[in-house]
Amino acid sequence: MENAFAVVETGGKQYKVKAGEVIDVEKLPAEAGDSVELDRVLLVSAGDQVTVGTPTVPGAKVRATVLAQERGQKVIVFKYKAKVRYRRKLGHRQDLTRLQINEIVV
């Protein structure tokens, strides 16, 4: 399917994916090299044919391969209140899984 894409939900977020793409998603329980199936497919588009799920498209899956388990960029959280000497600095790095999208199955 050329120009096919899908919208999948994983980790509480939605991603528009195409075959061959590499995306970073919330951490999945898989090792590097494992294959995973994302079955929460909300929309599938193949050419001029669009299928929208209610809430998911029945039978649709996105197959992907785990490339790596990584950590995201550091995000600085700084809380400040004027005139009361209140300052809090906190850093956070999210755990991510890098996926290579192999195919979209309808």
* 79/5 Cα distance (integer angstroms): 41
- pLDDT, one tens digit per residue, over 5-34 is 999 999 999 999 999 999 999 999 999 999
User: pLDDT tier at 97 (50, 70, 90 boundaries)?
Assistant: very high
Which residues form the domain of 82? 5-105
Q: How many domains does the chain have?
A: 1
CB neighbour list of residue 30: distance below 8 Å, 6 or more residues apart: 36, 66, 97
Q: Which residues contact 54 (CB under 8 A, 6 or more apart)?
A: none
- pLDDT band for 46, please (50, 70, 90 cuts): confident
> At residue 1, does pLDDT exceed 80?
no
HSE toward the beta carbon, residue 106, CA cutoff 13 A: 14
- What does the pLDDT look like over 59-96, one tens digit per residue? 999 999 999 999 999 999 999 999 999 999 999 999 99
pLDDT given at position 42: 95
